[in-house]
Amino acid sequence: MRVAAGGDLQLGATLTASPFAGATLLDGEVRFVNLEGPLTARGPAEGERFAFEPARAQWLRGQIDVVSLANNHALDQGIAGRDDSVRLLEAIGVQAAFEGHDATIARRGRRLTLIARAFAPDAELEGDDAAALVAAVLRAPRPTLVSLHWGHTGMMLPTAQQRALAHRLVDAGAAAVLGHGPHAMQGVERYRRGVIAYSLGNFAFGCDCTDVADAYTLRFVVDGDGARDVVVTPIAAGLSRPPARSRDPELRAQLLDLCRDLSSPVTVE
């Protein structure tokens, strides 16, 4: 199966049109983003608490296949708000994954599992929660993807604990680890048969809560329990506008450096 992944998607009020109105950036049979906040009419968006107009769920129809609802804003309107999101997404054919609720996507007679978890920036990544996640990957039907919301805002390098946990997840059977959360891009690592994107960065944000536009999308083919044909595409995140492919040579050079710092071989198309 061909997988295409983007980072954080926030459907706030300053997005006046669909973030998918421009060029197709997520081209795959399984298209993924981290949905940063609930689609619900239950409460107002106040301060750092998000609530998106339920009608904006339609923007994802035919554009996204599965989202992570395991992040620091998924419960901004409580469990009921998250449940609203799940129902709205299911109605338009989009699945959601969060702790206790894995997603299964069927394509051409094959199934793919997405497991999603969130770790606070200073969370212990060698403790019980991490061990439980590794055990969940070991038990999950193959092939398996893991979505992780983690890391400190603005950090462009993964920590040693992040790398160790990502390696454990691939060793347990994950074909890919899809990271997001710092609102900054971090490099992509090829580890054994898996691929690890430590942070995809922002995909689109409809608020004034971030000004980081440097990001990328990730495409790869799930082949058995591993990943092949990995392609990283630099993008300019949609900050109150649709995202777009980036032609900035400095962004490309920075992304190359971040990947090579993780000992990943990279070529430029």
- Per-residue pLDDT of 45-84, as tens digits, reads 888 899 999 999 999 999 999 999 999 999 999 999 999 9
**Tokens encoding 208:** 């004034």
Place of tokens 């051409």: 108
User: 220 - beta bridge partners?
Assistant: 3
Select 2-260's CATH number: 2.60.40.1120, 2.30.30.90, 3.30.70.100, 3.60.21.10: 3.60.21.10
pLDDT in tens, 181-196: 999 999 999 999 999 9
Question: pLDDT confidence of 164, banded at 50, 70, 90?
Answer: very high
3-state helix, strand, coil in the chain (%, to 5): 20, 35, 40
Give all strands (DSSP E) within 36-173, no chain letters. 66-68, 95-97, 103-107, 110-118, 144-149
Percentage of residues in the chain having pLDDT higher than 70 = 100
Closest to 133 (Cα-Cα) out of 181, 86, 98: 98
pTM of structure: 0.97
Residue 208 has pLDDT above 90, yes or no: no
Residue 43 has pLDDT above 90, yes or no: no
Q: What is the mean pLDDT of residues 199-222?
A: 95
Residue ranges per domain, the chain?
A: 2-260
At what angle are helices 160-172 and 128-139 packed, to 10 degrees? 30
Whether 218 and 5 have beta carbons less than 8 Å apart is answered as yes
Whether 230 and 193 have beta carbons less than 8 Å apart is answered as no
